[in-house]
A and B are shown apart, each in its own frame.
Chain A
Amino acid sequence: MTLAEGVQLVAFGILTAMTLGGALGVVLLDNIVYSAFLLGGVFTSMSGLYILLNAGFVAAAQVLVYVGAVSVLILFGIMLVNKEQPFTPVKRAWIGKTATGGVCIGLFALLATSTLNTPWALSTEVPTGDMATIEIGKHFFTDYLLPFELASVLLLIALIGAIVLARREFIPDVAAGEPESQALQLPERPRELVSSVASSEQDN
């Protein structure tokens, strides 16, 4: 075994352990923030696996899209909501958990047997490596044109949807005399504004 093969083997072992352990952690941990960070770790180790497969571009894209955008946005969502609610234990929750576990193990066994029993046609072609970028580009504009364009339309729809949701045309005006409604206030100790205090002092 040469040095490169040894390094690849060890790296494969470490990356697989990180991916599997991280994925289990995402599902099993109670703390949702830990789960979100572990998800980022899982994506990173998957990009490491892509590098082992000689797919550098896919690995970089995986890091950019999944770690840099998807997990950051998930974290963002969790941290902006950050609603601490006392967790009330559900009665007989173990039934649901056991059922889910059983279904998952069954699914895993099914997939594992089908993977092991399928006679895979292994490609003997040499990996394109660094030239993969050009190949991917060619595929995008020939036989994968429709999925590519559909994905861009999907992104456009998501973009417009986000803008429509985030944009609030309605701003309630408060009449001069009536007290401000409580509905739009943050659940914090009500505080008087500095300027209004100063002006009321001047009145006295």
Chain B
Amino acid sequence: MNQGIDLQGSFVNTLVDLGVPVGAAKALWLPLPMVVILIGATVSIFVTVWLERKISAAAQQRIGPEFAGPLGTLQAAADGIKLIFKEDITPAKADPLLFTLGPAIVVIPVFLSYLIVPFGQNLVITDIGVGIFLWIALSSIAPVGLLMSGYSSNNKYSLLGGLRAAAQSISYEIPMALAVLAVVLMSNSLSTIDIVNQQSGYGILGWNIWRQPAGFLIFWIAALAECERLPFDLPEAEEELVAGYQTEYTGMKFGLFYVGSYVNLVLSALIVSILYLGGWEFPLSVSWLASLIGVSETTPWLQVITASVGIMMTLFKAYALVFIAVLLRWTMPRIRIDQLLDFGWKFLLPVSLVNLLLTAALKLTFPVAFGG
């Protein structure tokens, strides 16, 4: 099935028509999607930071950032510039090599995971077969970086923060993977494109959230825990651990943790919207709307509109989820570490196992509705 716009094909064709060899044209195409996604991910930090500041201000009846740019939209840029120009301090007894490497290892897997985030039928960097599994594997690397920065800071708060972060992300990875497994079971594929396609056709009624309500909740809770968002921000609980593994960091190394956490939040929201909220699908089936007004689905202008609506829908769903995450952060108290581990192992894990079992049973019983 190759519907929609083939940007790569048209780009290569245009260059070949201009007299560039085919190989060179393909090589020129290669970095373009990656650069676009990198820029998109970086811009998403600014948007999310601005949202966080404005929503938290609204939750506390303040105004929030106001003077940097219109409505304070440039506040995050101002913060970023300040972080870049701050002195880069390495504590005297820290391990300089690991201290520098730690933040990088936290950030790189998050950006790599954008490989598999689709914004449309062909709007994805690579549609690899292992798709969503790659994201689960990559998100399991981050604890190594957190442990590294916690250990190398040579500070007991940092070490405790790093250990907590690793314990938390290992505990919540399992329910999250099981929730993903239930979705994969229904769509018969690990590829993110196939997962979205399996939800398409019936508009909002076809989305996985109706078939996987428990899985959606489990995944969202586990994703918040993986992002270390409140109510699960134990690793950097300021009343107990100063700032956890970030305590000794300044300047852009500290900024990298910041970047990593916000990009990870947006990434998790995107993945939730792909797995459960129909990805780039419009709440009303587009093909049905097209047949209603009597336009063929392969009309070029309709395809352009569908693609742009798809990108907007993906981002809209993701940012709606980010909004919920920010509201949760500013309205919920933090839970204790023993409650966190109890909740992960004794509640989420059994529930997600039961959810997986139920999904398998329903798939066998009603193969029509559950992707047999």
Contacts and interface: CB of A to CB of B under 8 A. Distances in A.
B134 A72 contact: no
Range class of the A interface residue count: 20 to 34
Given A2-B23, A72-B147, A75-B147, A67 B140 contact: yes
Nearest to B127: A130
Binding site of A, secondary structure by majority: helix, strand, loop or mixed? Answer: helix
B133 interface: yes
A18 interface: no
Contacts, number: 78
Interface residues of B, number: 29
A89 to B, nearest CB: 23
B166 A63 contact: no
A64 B148 CA distance: 18
Given A60-B137, A132-B129, A133-B190, A76 B144 contact: no
Interface string B114-135: 0000000000000011100110
Contact of B136 (A64, A73, A132): A64
Contacts of A75: 144, 147, 151, 166
Interface string A24-66: 0000000001000100100010000000000011001101100
Given A56-B128, A57-B133, A130-B130, A68 B163 contact: no
Given A64-B137, A133-B190, A56 B129 contact: yes
Interface string A2-25: 110000000000000000000000
B25 to A, nearest CB: 11
Contacts of A68: 137, 140-141, 143-144, 170, 173
Binding site of B, secondary structure by majority: helix, strand, loop or mixed? Answer: helix
Contacts of A69: 140, 170
A131 B129 contact: yes
B148 A63 contact: no
Contacts of A71: 144
Pick from B147, B167, B191 the residue with the most CB of A within 10 Å: B147
B138 interface: yes
10 contacts: A56-B128, A56-B134, A57-B133, A64-B140, A67-B144, A68-B144, A68-B173, A79-B159, A79-B163, A133-B129
Interface of A: 2-3, 33, 37, 40, 44, 56-57, 60-61, 63-64, 67-69, 71-73, 75-76, 79-80, 129-133
Given A57-B130, A63-B138, 14 more contacts: A3-B26, A56-B128, A56-B130, A57-B133, A67-B140, A68-B137, A68-B141, A68-B143, A72-B170, A75-B151, A80-B163, A130-B128, A130-B129, A133-B190
